[in-house]
A and B are shown apart, each in its own frame.
Chain A
Amino acid sequence: MSLRSPLGKVLGQGSAKDGVHHWWVQRLSSVALVPLTVWFVVSLLSLPAIDHATITAWIGQLWSAVFLILLVITGAWHSQLGVRVVVEDYVHGHGSKALTLALVTFFHVVVAAAGVLAILKVALGGAR
């Protein structure tokens, strides 16, 4: 039980002076994902065949590799921003929240790094 005044509780530690950047980048990345996703789906559907040789050859083309890398980075970034909000909404303990947020960030960085490396490897001819 606390005897702190209701207004004191609401004012709390004050404004974090943060959140605009997160909100704006989330909007910006969602806008960027629209053409990237459309391009990805249309490109896959217009391939003559969906087999290993065709796909690797497609990834080997310069612009395919560029857009694929952008899709992976933008997708991971957007997802990280979104999952962060979900965690902040539902995980309330300070310790468990900080830990979950750290794990969420690491997970997205690993996914993005692995995705980019995989694309580069195929595009630059390192993989067979």
Chain B
Amino acid sequence: MADFRLPANSRIRKGNTHRAPAGALALRTFRIYRFDPTSGENPRVDTFELDITGCGPMVLDALIQIKGSIDSSLTFRRSCREGICGSCAMNIDGLNRLACTTAMEDLGRGDIHIYPLPHMPVVKDLVPDLTNFYAQYASVKPWLVTHTPPPPDRERLQSKAEQEKIDRPAACILCACCSTACPSYWWNSDRFLGPAALLAAYRWIIDSRDEATGERLDALEDPFRLYRCHTIMNCTDVCPKDLNPAKAIAEIKRMLVERTS
């Protein structure tokens, strides 16, 4: 059956509090999920008071500041700090988003709660294990499959309209915000591919140069891989790139019905 309580070793206990030094000018309080696999202890939520004077405006800037000046053991992924690498996806104040494109100012005045992406195994602190997520992406064969040999003198051509169809779906940065926001993915991520992988599948299904459309649809025609999607649409709600995985999945379902009659 579905689990309604966290397993005993995942239950969150009270953590440490790091007070700001006296005389702080602009204080923000962060409540951050901490888990250290080597300690043998349960996860905890630490409280950090940070003087954001001189700190950048984004949540990622604050995390870097905390790591640099308060607790160097705080662990999170980050790279581009401009919303294109997808590394710093995490659950901030209850929504999956990129720490680097989420401004602290937009989160109101209260405490800022930061957790790893929901319902994933945690490697450490804010770093989730995305092995299964990446394997699901690989399983949809995210590359061009053709039978016709390429023209000897130039690349495979597409019309402008054909290219525009894949423009948006191809902008996915694989941050996993969508899949880990999906309740169907929480309950069945072992068999449901999730919105990110399905959006990627759709991107290749509608690519005019691809010649494996049928095989791609065959591979998705499954009660779990595709049809665990119950159009909850959290995926589209949280996508930091404003993409629409829910619509892509609906389009795949439409194509599957269309080819039967």
Residues of A bordering B, CB below 8 Å: 5-7, 9-12, 14-20, 22-24, 85, 88-92, 96
Pick from B167-175, B205-213, B219-227, B235-243 the stretch touching chain A: B219-227
Identify B226's interface contact among A11, A14, A19, A88, CB under 8 A.
A19
Is B253 part of the contact surface with A, judged by Cβ < 8 Å?
yes
19 A–B contacts, CB within 8 A, in A order: A6-B134, A7-B139, A9-B132, A9-B135, A10-B132, A11-B139, A16-B221, A17-B222, A18-B221, A18-B222, A19-B256, A20-B253, A23-B253, A24-B257, A88-B228, A89-B228, A90-B1, A90-B187, A91-B1
- Distance in angstroms between the alpha carbons of A20 and B256 in the assembled complex: 7
Chain B residues with Cβ below 8 Å from A16 are 221-224
Chain B residues 102 to 122 lying within 8 A of chain A, measured CB to CB, are none
Chain A residues with Cβ below 8 Å from B1 are 90-92, 96
Nearest CB in chain A: distance from B130 CB, A: 10
Chain A residues with Cβ below 8 Å from B251 are none
Chain B residues with Cβ below 8 Å from A6 are 131-132, 134-135
- Distance in angstroms between the alpha carbons of A23 and B190 in the assembled complex: 21
A92 adjacent to B2 (CB under 8 Å): yes
B45-81: CB near A (< 8 Å → 1, else 0) gives 0000000000000000000000000000000000000
B135 adjacent to A7 (CB under 8 Å): yes
Nearest CB in chain B: distance from A80 CB, A: 15
Chain B residues with Cβ below 8 Å from A20 are 221, 253, 256-257, 260
Chain A residues with Cβ below 8 Å from B224 are 16, 88
Q: Assuming the A-B contacts A20-B256, A20-B257, A85-B230, are A15 and B222 also in contact, with contact meaning beta carbons closer than 8 angstroms in the complex? A: yes
- Distance in angstroms between the alpha carbons of A85 and B218 in the assembled complex: 21
B138 adjacent to A7 (CB under 8 Å): yes
Residues of B bordering A, CB below 8 Å: 1-2, 131-132, 134-136, 138-139, 184, 187-188, 190-191, 193, 218-228, 230, 253, 256-257, 260
Q: Assuming the A-B contacts A10-B135, A11-B139, are A89 and B188 also in contact, with contact meaning beta carbons closer than 8 angstroms in the complex? A: yes
Chain A residue with the shortest CB-CB distance to B261: A24
Chain B residues with Cβ below 8 Å from A12 are 191
Chain B residue with the shortest CB-CB distance to A24: B257
Chain A residues with Cβ below 8 Å from B223 are 16, 18-19, 22, 88
Chain A residue with the shortest CB-CB distance to B139: A10
Chain B residue with the shortest CB-CB distance to A91: B1
- Distance in angstroms between the alpha carbons of A34 and B252 in the assembled complex: 26
Nearest CB in chain A: distance from B148 CB, A: 25
B221 adjacent to A17 (CB under 8 Å): yes
7 closest A-B pairs (Cβ-Cβ)? A6-B135, A19-B227, A19-B223, A15-B222, A90-B2, A10-B135, A10-B139
Quick one: which of A10, A11, A85 has the most chain B CB within 10 A?
A: A10
Quick one: which of B132, B139, B218 has the most chain A CB within 10 A?
A: B139
B190 adjacent to A9 (CB under 8 Å): yes
Chain A residues with Cβ below 8 Å from B226 are 19
